[in-house]
Amino acid sequence: MKCIVPGANIKILARAIHCLSKIGDEMYVHPQEKCISFRSVNMANSAYANFTFHENYFSYYIFGDDDEKDTLKCKISIRSIMAVFKTPNALDKQVETCHIKLQPNASKLIFMLKYKNNITKTYLLPIIDSEMMEAVYNKESISNKLTSHSKVLIDAVQNFQQNLVELTIQITPQKVILRNYIDETCTLSKITRTHLALDLSEFVNYNVETETTITFCMKELRAILNFAESVGLSLGIHFETAGRPVIFTIETTSFEANVVLSTLNPDVTSAIDKSAGGKREQSLQKKAANKKSFKKSANTVNRRTINNSKISTKTGNATSNIQSASIKDNHDVSLINTDSNTLVNMGNGHSENDHVMQNNSERITREVFNYNEKPSTSKSILHRESIDSRNLINSVFSNMPKRKTCNERVDVSDTSDDEDTVPNSPPPAKKARSIFQKCFQKTFDPKIMLPGHDRILAEDSDEHSD
Amino acid sequence: MIPNANDYKFVAKLGNLRTVVQLLKSVNFKETATCFGTDNGLKITVEDAKCMQASAYIPVDVFQEFKLKEEVIFRINLNVLVECLCMFWSDINSQSSSVAAQLFYKGTGHPVTMLIEENGIITDCSLKTQELGELLDFHLDAEDVLNKIVLQTDLLKDVLAELDGTSEFIELLLSPEAPYFRISTDGIAGECRIELPRDSDLVESFECNTTANSCYKLAHIKPAMKALYCANKVSMRTDDCGLLCFQYMVKTDAGQTCYVEYYISPVIDVE
C-alpha cells in the first residue's frame, strides 16, 4: 500500500492522529481497496474511534494486489506516530506531501514527510502486531440523530468544569439538556451542578423519536469536538437509550470519523442500587479511591467488565479478526463485572425465582456490612434511589414489590448495623502528648513533681505589633 | 571603587552584553571554563569528558576597552560568571541596555574581578581562579577535512529541535551522492531519517568529496545546538576520523562577528 497526502490535507490527518491519541495507546492501520482506516480503542474498551480516509483524500492511493489484502494491516504505538505529527499547526505550512507506505508482512510502517524547504523526514515506525480491530455497530439503524455545528457544542461544553469526567445529556423532542453527571457517592452540598439547555434551533438536524437520557465520558467527547472544530465541520450524534453506545460522526466526501462511546447503563446501576449493591459499587469506589484513583464508580464497574471482555478478545485473537466485545451488540448493556453479572442476568431474566434473589441480596448484604458506611451516605443513596426509580419505569425491578421489601430490609438493617459497628476514626496522633505524656495527666502537679518549674528560662517573646 | 588599571595584566570593558551573555550561555554545558586573553580577543573554552570541546571567541573589537600587558590564561567557574551577568538579563536583553561590565585580572593566583554597572549602581563580583588543567587540542587541518557544509541556521533549527530525544545516538551521513546529507536517530518511537537538501537557498556551500558516515552521542550534539538560536550561519566539517566541528557565526547588535566552535568526537563502536 502506498499513498500520498497532499499538503493541504495533512492537517486533517495530523488532527485525526491527535484525536486518536486521546483515546487509546495504540493505533490500528487498516488499508482497504479504496480507503484507509486508522482506529483506536481505549484500555477499557469503552471508547472506540475510527477515521477512514477515502481515495479522494489522497493525491495518490494504491492498495496493491488482492492476495496481499490479508497481510496489509498493522498495529503501532500512538507514541511513535505522534512523533511524526508533533505540531499539526506548523505541518500545514511547511509540509508539501506526506507519503505512507506499508509493505505486506513488513516490520515497519513508513511515513515520509516532504517539507517545502526540501528537507525530507522519513519515519520508520515499528509495527507491534499485524492485526485488525473493528467495532461492530450500526448507526443507520439508529433512529435518533442530532447534527450540530461543532462550534455550538464546543461553546456548550466549555461551560462545564475542565475536570468533568462524565456528561449527561437529556434529549427531549424540543431541547437537549446537558448536565454534569453526579454520581450518588458525592456529597451534594459540595458539588457544582451545571445545566445547559440547547434549543432544537441550535441544531442543523434534529431527529428525536424517543426521549432519553444518556451519560458518557467527557474526555473522548472533547477529543472528537476538537477535531471537528479544527476541520470546521458539523458533528452528528447517533444514540438510542442509556446503556447503548452513542456514536459521534463527522462525514465529508473525502473522509469519515466515527467515535463510539459506551454510555452508563442505568439498568445496571439501578439494579445494583436496588439490591443494595449500590453500596457495593460504592465500596468498589472506595477501594478505587484508596488507590488514589479519580475514576468514578461507574467507571470502575465499566473497567472491570471490560477486562472481562478483553479476555474474550484475547481468545479471539487466534482468529486474527478481533472485535471489541464491549462495543459489540448487547455486551454494552451488560457492563458489569462477573459478580454483579449474575445480578443483572437475574434482573433481566424474568424467570429467576425469588429464592435466588433473596440469597443473592443476602450475600450482598453481608458484603456490604464488611464496609463501614456512614449512615448519612446510605440516606443519600435512598434519596438517589427515589430519583432513579423514576427513570427506570421499564426496569424489571420496579415491578417487583418483593424486591423492594428486601431492599428496604437491607437498608434498614444497614443503617442500624452501621451505628453499632462503625468505629470512630482514631484521634489524630499527637506527638506532644505521647512525648510529654505525664504532663497531660490530671494528677500532674508541677509544684510537687518538678523542682524549679517556676523559673522562667526564656521570656515570652513580644507580641507582634504594627 | 574602580581599581587602578595599571596593576592588572588584563583589563577589559564590555558595553553591549547581550551577545556576549548568549555566547557564554551556549558554551556553558560544564561549569569550568578556561579563558585565554590574547591580542585577538578573549576565548572561553569548555571541555567535557575529553570528547567534546566548545569555545566562544570574543574578538577585540567587541570590547570597548581591551588592555593586555601579556597573554593571560585563567580558569574560572563559568556558571558563576553567567549567573552574575544574568542578574541583569532583563536589562541586558532590552534594546536600550545600559549595563556595562569590566573585567580585571592581576595574574596567576588572583581572582578575576568583574564590575557590572547598571544605571550608576555598581556590582562588584570576584571570581576565584582555579588551577589550570590540561586541555585537549582539537583541531581540523585543512587537508584532513573530508566534508564541509555552510548553512543558514534556519535550516537546522527546526530539524534539530524536533530530534527524537529518546534516541541515544545520532548518525550523520555526508555524501557527494544522494542522499547527500542525512541525520538519523533511532529511539523508542521508531527510526527517523532526516534528509537535507544540497541545493537549497539556505545551503551556502556543500563540499563533499567522499561518503562519510559517523555516529555521535545525542547528549553531545544537544549542547552544540544551543548556539543555533543566536547564530546566523553554521559551518559543519568532518575529518577522516569522524571528528565533527560546528562553527557558528554570531553577529552582535553592533555588527561585529563572534564565533562559537564545537568539536565533537565520534562514537567508534556502536553495537
Domains, in order of start, for chain A: 2-133 (3.70.10.10), 144-261 (3.70.10.10), 266-421 (no CATH)
pLDDT for position A356 = 42
Residue B5 pLDDT class (50, 70, 90 cuts): low
Task: State whether B197 and A83 contact (CB < 8 Å).
Answer: no
Name B188's Cβ contacts closer than 8 Å, sequence gap at least 6. A79, A80, B164, B166
pLDDT of residue A429: 55
Please judge whether B197 and A119 are an interchain contact, meaning their C-beta atoms are less than 8 angstroms apart: yes
> Residue B22 and residue B226: Cα distance in Å, rounded?
9
Chain A residues closer than 8 Å to B185 by CB = none
Residue A48 pLDDT = 93
Kindly list the structural domains of chain B, giving each domain's residue range(s) and its CATH number in brackets, ordered by start. 5-127 (3.70.10.10), 145-264 (3.70.10.10)
Alpha carbons B135 and B139: distance in angstroms, whole number: 12
Structure confidence at residue B16 (pLDDT) = 80
Contact state of B155 with A79 under an 8 Å Cβ cutoff: no
Number of residues written out for chain A: 466
Q: Mean pLDDT over residues B40-68, rounded?
A: 90
- Taking an 8 Å cut-off on Cβ atoms, the answer to whether B193 and A118 are in contact is no
Smallest CA–CA distance, residue A122 to chain B, in Å, is 5
- Contacts with B178 from chain A: Cβ below 8 Å: none
Which of these ranges, A65-74, B161-170, B240-249, has the smallest mean pLDDT? A65-74
User: In the structure, what pLDDT confidence band is assigned to residue B259 with cuts at 50, 70 and 90?
Assistant: very high
Whole-angstrom Cα distance, residue A129 to residue A91?
Answer: 28
Do the chains contact at B195 and A124, CB–CB below 8 Å?
no
**List of chain B residues whose C-beta atoms are within 8 Å of the C-beta of residue A116:** none
- On the CB side of B42, CA atoms within 13 Å amount to 26
Rounded to the nearest 10°, the torsion over CA B129, B131, B136, B141 is: 60
Cβ A156 vs Cβ A164: under 8 Å: no
Tell me which residues of chain A have a pLDDT lower than 70: 266-436, 464-466
pLDDT for B208: 85
Q: Out of A69-73, A390-394, B121-125, B141-145, which region has the weakest mean confidence (pLDDT)?
A: A390-394
Model confidence at B84, in pLDDT bands (50, 70, 90)? Answer: confident
Predicted pLDDT at A456: 80
Element (H, E) at B250: strand B244-251
Which bin fits A362, alpha (ψ -120 to 50), beta or left (φ > 0)? alpha
How many angstroms separate the CA atoms of A437 and B261, rounded? 69
Pick from B158, B162, B200: CB nearest A118? B200
How many cross-chain Cβ pairs, A to B, lie less than 8 Å apart? 53
CA distance B216 to chain A (A): 19
3-state DSSP call for residue A240? Answer: coil
Query: Could you report the per-residue pLDDT of A248-304, keeping only the tens digit for each?
Result: 999 999 999 999 999 887 665 544 444 443 344 444 444 444 444 333 343 443 433
Span A218-252, pLDDT tens digits: 999 999 999 999 999 999 999 988 888 899 999 99
Per-residue confidence band for B203, with pLDDT thresholds at 50, 70 and 90: confident
**Alpha helices in A235-353, H assignment, sequence order:** 266-274, 277-290, 297-316, 338-348
Report d(CA B41, CA B33) in Å as an integer.
Answer: 16
Nearest CA in chain B to A122: B193
A118 and B196: CB-CB below 8 Å? yes
Banded model confidence at residue B86, pLDDT cuts 50, 70, 90: confident
- Looking at the complex, report in whole angstroms how far the Cα of residue A20 sits from the nearest Cα belonging to chain B: 16
